[in-house]
Amino acid sequence: MNNSETIFAVSSGSGMAGIAVIRMSGGKAGGVLASVAGPLPLPRRASIRQLRHPQTQEVIDQGLVLWMPGPMTSTGEDVAEFHVHGSAAVIEAMFEVFRSISGVRLAEPGEFTRRAFVNNRMDLVEAEGLADLLQARTEAQRRMAMHHMLGHASSQYEDWRTEMISLLARLEAAIDFVEEDGVAVAALADIRPKILDLVTRLSRAAAEADRAGALRSGVKVVFAGAPNVGKSTLLNLVAAREAAIVSSRPGTTRDVIEVPVVLGGIPVILTDTAGLRAKAGDEVEVIGMQRAKSEAAAADIVVWVSSVDVAEDTENAVVPALKVLNKSDLPGDAHGADLRVSARTGEGIAELIAELERLVSARFSGMEQASVIRTRHRDAVEESIRFLNDSLLHDVGQIELAAECLRKACFSIGRVTGRVDVEDLLGKIFSEFCIGK
Ligand SMILES: Nc1nc2c(ncn2[C@@H]2O[C@H](COP(=O)(O)OP(=O)(O)OP(=O)(O)O)[C@@H](O)[C@H]2O)c(=O)[nH]1
Ligand SMILES: [Mg+2]
pLDDT digits (tens, 9 = 90+) for 252-265: 999 999 999 999 88
Beta strand 301-307 pairing with 322-326: parallel
Identify the band that residue 436 occupies on the pLDDT scale cut at 50, 70 and 90.
Answer: very low
pLDDT above 60 for 405: yes
What is the sign of the dihedral through the CA atoms of 272, 278, 279 and 284? positive
What kind of fold does domain 217-364 have according to CATH? Rossmann fold (3.40.50)
Phi, psi values for residue 323, rounded to 5°: -110, 125
pLDDT of the residue at 433: 43
Beta carbons of 388 and 195 less than 8 angstroms apart = yes
pLDDT above 50 for 84: yes
* Location of each CATH 1.20.120.430 domain in the chain: 139-208+372-432
Percentage of the chain with pLDDT > 90?
Answer: 69
Beta strand 219-225 pairing with 79-86: unpaired
| pLDDT per residue as tens digits for the range 330-349 | 987 766 789 999 999 999 99
State which ligand 1 atom lies nearest to the alpha carbon of 328: 31
User: 139-208+372-432: which CATH number, 3.40.710.10, 1.10.260.40, 1.20.120.430, 3.40.430.10?
Assistant: 1.20.120.430
What is the sign of the dihedral through the CA atoms of 153, 155, 158 and 160? negative
| pLDDT per residue as tens digits for the range 279-291 | 888 899 999 999 9
State which ligand 1 atom lies nearest to the alpha carbon of 254: 23
The least confident of 292-296, 352-356, 366-370 is 366-370
Query: What is the CATH number that goes with domain 6-115?
Result: 3.30.1360.120
Which has the higher per-residue pLDDT, 208 or 396? 208
424 vs 99: CA distance, rounded Å: 42
* Location of each CATH 3.30.1360.120 domain in the chain: 6-115
| pLDDT per residue as tens digits for the range 39-74 | 999 999 999 999 999 999 999 999 999 999 999 999
When pLDDT is averaged across residues 288-316 and rounded to a whole number, the result is 90
DSSP 13-63: PSSSEEEEEEEEESTTHHHHHHHHHSSPPPTT--EEEEEE-TTT--EEEEE
Closest of 127, 98, 97, 91 to residue 112, by C-alpha: 127
Identify the band that residue 118 occupies on the pLDDT scale cut at 50, 70 and 90.
Answer: confident
Ligand 1 geometric centre to CA of 342 (Å): 10
Proximal ligand: closest to the CA of 252: 1
Task: Answer yes or no: is the C-beta of 348 below 6 A from any ligand 1 atom.
Answer: no
pLDDT above 80 for 14: no
Nearest alpha carbon, ligand 1 atom 2: 327
pLDDT of the residue at 37: 97
State which ligand 1 atom lies nearest to the alpha carbon of 234: 15
Task: Answer yes or no: is the C-beta of 246 below 6 A from any ligand 1 atom.
Answer: yes
Beta carbons of 162 and 237 less than 8 angstroms apart = no
Nearest alpha carbon, ligand 1 atom 30: 327
400 vs 394: CA distance, rounded Å: 9
pTM of the model: 0.78
pLDDT of the residue at 2: 67
Beta carbons of 21 and 83 less than 8 angstroms apart = yes
Beta carbons of 132 and 216 less than 8 angstroms apart = yes
Cα 236 to its chain centre, rounded Å, is 28
DSSP-derived 3-state class of residue 127: helix
58 vs 94: CA distance, rounded Å: 12
Ligand 1 geometric centre to CA of 283 (Å): 22
pLDDT of the residue at 431: 52
Mutate to test the pocket of ligand 1, among 246, 276, 324 (most ligand atoms within 8 A of CB): 246
Nearest alpha carbon, ligand 1 atom 12: 228
Q: Please give the mean pLDDT across all residues of the chain.
A: 90
* Location of each CATH 3.40.50.300 domain in the chain: 217-364
Beta carbons of 228 and 310 less than 8 angstroms apart = yes
Beta carbons of 66 and 11 less than 8 angstroms apart = no
Ligand 2 geometric centre to CA of 265 (Å): 27
Mutate to test the pocket of ligand 1, among 233, 242, 340 (most ligand atoms within 8 A of CB): 233
336 vs 320: CA distance, rounded Å: 12
pLDDT of the residue at 82: 97
Cα 395 to its chain centre, rounded Å, is 40
